[in-house]
Amino acid sequence: MFFLAGSAVLAATALLVVRYLHWDQPAVSPEAASRLYPVVSPEHRAALKALLNEDRAVDPVLLHGDVWWLLRWGSVIVISVGIAATAAGWCVSGRLLRPLNEITRTAEQVAGRTLHQRIALSAPPGEVKTLADSFDRMLERLDESFAGQGRFVANAAHELKTPLALNRTLVEVAMNRRDATESLRNLGENLLKVNARHERLIDALLALARSDSGTMECLPTDLGRLAETVLAHAAESAREAGITVSSDLDAAPLQGDPTLLEQLTRNLVDNAIRYNHHGGTVHVTTRLGPDAAVLVVTNTGPSIAPSEVPTLFQPFRRLTDRVDSAKGSGLGLSIVQAIAHTHGGEARADPRPKGGLDLTVTLPLSHPGPGRAARPRTPVRLAAQRPGSDTRLVQSGGTDT
């Protein structure tokens, strides 16, 4: 803007000079000249007359040189002052925009599923300070809202576990009675299956609420050992389903929550076994990258279009046209993605050409960066007590008793 304005002023100045020196101007009237004659000596009157009326022509060569001299040195001045103004404007604008850069960095961290970061801008009162404070208040309200939602889900899930445990006990007692008929036992087995499915759903909701709330412990963990433990527990179900399980487990140490990471690995392996066909395969790989630990679970199964892959990570979404919806709750991969994000990592699914998926989880080796810091667990007591009974479910520091 300064260069444009300076160039326009310089061009206008040159045009005015040319017009003043080169364009024809009206001659001095005889009356004006006669008024000057009395004050001029007789010997100078002829020269005055020639100066006023006759010798008014300007040498074109001299005029051309003067105009170019004006343009040349005027351009030098405009460029010099323009460079100085640009440098000063750059410094001033950078100082003014520095608070906006802080707001942008905080917004990017919040976009990474973290609501604990605040701008806390130290600046004099003004428009930018007001914007930063408003942004902090908005984050505070969002953080409280999401934390309350997570607590509500966790409380509701815990409250539901006690009646389910009581229902299971009553059904088992009825099935084991001596006078129980065959039809009663068949009904009891079906009720136990439904009850077990509800318990799995509640456990999944608890894991999802905990991972979404960001409450995690940061301890040294080996992803390879966790995968080995999970595969040992899943061996029986794989044999019953006719699935061949293989592994290539390298040591992958990292800082994370062992319980959540075990839940992540278990969900991936269970999904790979559950949504597979008889005679299919599951292969689990762990490896250590330059700055991340990687877990890959590959399985055969139904063909999945690339456009359907994002749906797999949405809660309670299943590909019901290709898989049996009764096999799961639709929360397995949602929990995997939530736990990966809590640890600052990512979960990705790639469909295989012949059916099945390649599920890859990448987790950073160190503690989550700024804005992803884990919040300490606070003891929570949840009670579901029947009248006249001492049965009580209590959670304290993450331990159920």
- AA letter at 39: V
Would you state the pLDDT for residue 400? 40
Q: Are strands 399-400 and 253-256 parallel, antiparallel or unpaired?
A: unpaired
pLDDT single digits (tens) 328-345: 556 778 888 888 888 888
pLDDT in tens, 82-115: 898 888 888 888 888 888 887 887 777 766 556 6
- Which segments in the chain show pLDDT lower than 50? 54-56, 320-326, 368-401
* Residue 347 pLDDT: 92
Q: What is the pLDDT of residue 360?
A: 94
Query: Are the C-beta atoms of residues 161 and 401 closer than 8 Å to each other?
Result: no
Which domains, from first to last, does the chain contain?
2-111 (no CATH), 218-374 (3.30.565.10)
Distance (Å, rounded) from C-alpha 350 to C-alpha 345? Answer: 17
Beta bridge partners of 396: 399
